[in-house]
Amino acid sequence: MMRIISFSYFDLSPCLKSCLLYLNVFPEDFKIDKEDLIMRWIAEGFTPEEDGHTLYELGERCFNELINRSLIQPGELDDLCAEVTNCRVHDIILDFVISKSKEENFVTLLGVSGVNHDRENKARRLSLQSGSEIPNDLDLCNAWSLAVFGRSINIPAWKKFKNLRALSFEMCNELENHHVVGIDNLFHLKHLRFKGAKLKKFPDEIAKLQSLETLEIVGASSRLEIPSTICQLKKLTHLVVCYYIILPDEIGGMQALQVLEGINVFNHSVNFCRQLGNLSNLRKLAIELCGNYSVREEKIIQMLFSICKLGNANLYCVCVSGNYKLDPDLERYEVDGCNVNDADEIYDGYNIDDSLDESWFSALRGFRELVIMDNFVPWRIPRSMKSLINMQKLCLNVSIVLHEDMVILGGLPALRILSLGAEGCVTGAKTEGLLKISQSLGFPSLINFTIGERNCVMGLIFEAGCMPRLEKLVLCFLMLLTSDDFDFGIEHLRNLKFIRCHYWKKELKAALERSIATHPNHPTFQFKG
């Protein structure tokens, strides 16, 4: 087996070899987050630049290539789009990687049973595990990265890490402020990540890290305010935080920012929401609207203005989640047990385009990704959405999906990933019954399709020639709209490779399995009751 793995390894490009050997940093059986891994690769310089692609896109290409070569195992799939969110390394592959890494002095492992470091080698990358400590005689002057896991938090003076580029703390629940005193001496640091740390105050000296490009503060369990000195980081392009992190109002001055994720709008001021509109280089924005706070509506309105402003600049991806309902008037509609007649009557009395200004969609025309999750439930797909011709990924929760909605979405030429969390019904119209997905609807580029919700009533059938490129299908529903023979027309999805079903009754599982068994591709089937 090792010989086969060795052949596979030597067939890799230099970039992929480095990406694979870097996996040695993580503990055995560790669930490796995809986004975190790619950002580490970027910080290490493993992903060479290529015109027309971001470094993250190139890192994602490397990630998928390692999966396709069976060198890493895909982990969990997200419920929205059935996309891989993390990975693991098989024990046999890890043994090879550890051996090869030691041979090339690629990673120095400390605290790993059966692995001894060579004291004569200069450490280039260090991984501290199982409460281990760094030996006093280990040469750290050429160390480029340090990954700390768990209780391994007793680090020598930071000034010894003169050339450190990447530093991460994973689930270091005992990490406190005194452990990071002197971290401002890491003048070459590009990547800094805290996960699960118990920092009570973020160091003001962060401003001295003028080479810092990525800062992640996730997994915090209590409120943590970031000092305004962070705005002095002129090279910071990626800032990822979590619910409890409070960023300064002066954020509008951070002109290098391209990615900003995890901020809870309601934790911040109206002025903060206004300042976000000045981040003209921002490409991706992920926000949460959670909690019972004052002036929520004013903050949301200001946030929408900022998103519109950024949409006319460089912003192309927006993700919104939380427990705030966009339109309180919609709460009076009961959709759990809706039927076709009720749905049409309600829709006739409510035009969602009246509540979404045309300028909103005009600002979004350059968008490639729009994800609106949780309780943000418009009644129907806005008709103005047909103008979003560059949209590649669209995830929305709606109350009902009808034929007219699929006509709008099917006309989006670039759409590759579509997730519709229909909370009420998926159906045609009151005169048609089933929603028929036909070739005439379009969807020329669609690869991933998710539809339904926990309480959804499903009335959907795929017809010949529809969704010609569809590879992944996720169906979520409680019951079928009709009592006719169970048939979704799965056989008409000629390129289908994967299907997952959520929530529905187990007696339908066997029927779908029979349908899948006759499909020429024999797609992978996952059932989650």
Q: Which segments of 334-430 are extended strands (E)?
A: 369-372, 393-401, 417-426
Q: Are residues 221 and 132 in the same domain?
A: yes
Q: Are residues 434 and 489 in the same domain?
A: yes
For 13, the domain range is: 2-88
Q: Are residues 475 and 522 in the same domain?
A: yes
| Range with the largest mean pLDDT of 113-122, 257-266, 319-328 | 257-266
Q: Write the Ramachandran bin of 261: left for phi over 0, alpha for psi from -120 to 50, otherwise beta.
A: beta
Q: Final residue of a domain: which of 212, 245, 278?
A: 245
Provide the pLDDT for residue 86: 94
Helical segments of 313-434, H only: 340-348, 358-363, 403-410
Q: Are residues 136 and 20 in the same domain?
A: no
Q: What does the block give as tokens for 434?
A: 């089933």
Is residue 135 in some structural domain? yes
C-beta of residue 34 within 8 angstroms of C-beta of residue 63: yes
Q: Are residues 404 and 470 in the same domain?
A: yes
Is residue 329 in some structural domain? no
Q: pLDDT tier at 232 (50, 70, 90 boundaries)?
A: very high
C-beta of residue 421 within 8 angstroms of C-beta of residue 398: yes
pTM: 0.86
Q: Are residues 69 and 119 in the same domain?
A: no
Provide the pLDDT for residue 134: 83
Q: Final residue of a domain: which of 39, 73, 88?
A: 88
Is residue 373 in some structural domain? no
Q: Are residues 441 and 521 in the same domain?
A: yes
Q: How far apart are CA 76 and CA 59, in angstroms?
A: 19
What are 386-392's contacts with CB under 8 Å, separation 24+? 386/411, 386/412, 387/361, 387/362, 388/361, 388/364, 388/412, 389/365, 389/413, 389/414, 390/316, 390/365, 390/366, 390/414, 391/367, 391/415, 392/368, 392/416, 392/417, 392/445
Is residue 366 in some structural domain? no
| Per-residue model confidence as pLDDT tens digits over 130-189 | 777 888 878 888 899 999 998 766 787 888 888 999 999 998 877 888 888 889 989 999
State the average pLDDT over residues 320-330.
57
Is residue 106 in some structural domain? no
Helical segments of 331-441, H only: 340-348, 358-363, 403-410
Q: Are residues 76 and 118 in the same domain?
A: no
Q: How many residues does the chain have?
A: 529
Q: How far apart are CA 46 and CA 65, in angstroms?
A: 14
Q: Are residues 416 and 479 in the same domain?
A: yes
Q: How far apart are CA 143 and CA 162, in angstroms?
A: 8
The answer, yes or no, to whether residue 347 has pLDDT greater than 80, is no
| Per-residue model confidence as pLDDT tens digits over 7-47 | 888 999 999 999 999 999 999 999 999 999 999 999 999 98
Q: Are residues 523 and 404 in the same domain?
A: yes
Is residue 409 in some structural domain? yes
The answer, yes or no, to whether residue 344 has pLDDT greater than 70, is no
SS3 454: coil
DSSP per position, 292-311 = --TTHHHHHHHHHHHHHHHH
Q: How far apart are CA 90 and CA 103, in angstroms?
A: 20
Q: Are residues 32 and 72 in the same domain?
A: yes
DSSP 428: -
Helix and strand element counts for the chain (H, E): 11, 26
Q: How far apart are CA 410 and CA 127, in angstroms?
A: 48
The answer, yes or no, to whether residue 430 has pLDDT greater than 80, is no
C-beta of residue 285 within 8 angstroms of C-beta of residue 318: yes
Total count of domains within the chain: 3
For residue 101, the tally of other CB atoms under 10 A from its CB is 22
Is residue 374 in some structural domain? no
Q: Mean of the per-residue pLDDT values for the chain?
A: 83
What are 162-166's contacts with CB under 8 Å, separation 24+? 162/188, 163/188, 164/188, 164/189, 165/43, 165/44, 165/189, 165/190, 165/191, 166/40, 166/43, 166/44, 166/190, 166/191, 166/192
Say if strands 166-170 and 479-480 run parallel, antiparallel, or are unpaired: unpaired
CATH number for 199:
3.80.10.10
Q: pLDDT tier at 6 (50, 70, 90 boundaries)?
A: confident
C-alpha dihedral sign at 250, 252, 254, 258:
positive
Q: Are residues 398 and 474 in the same domain?
A: yes
Is residue 372 in some structural domain? no
Which H/E stretch holds residue 238? Answer: strand 238-240
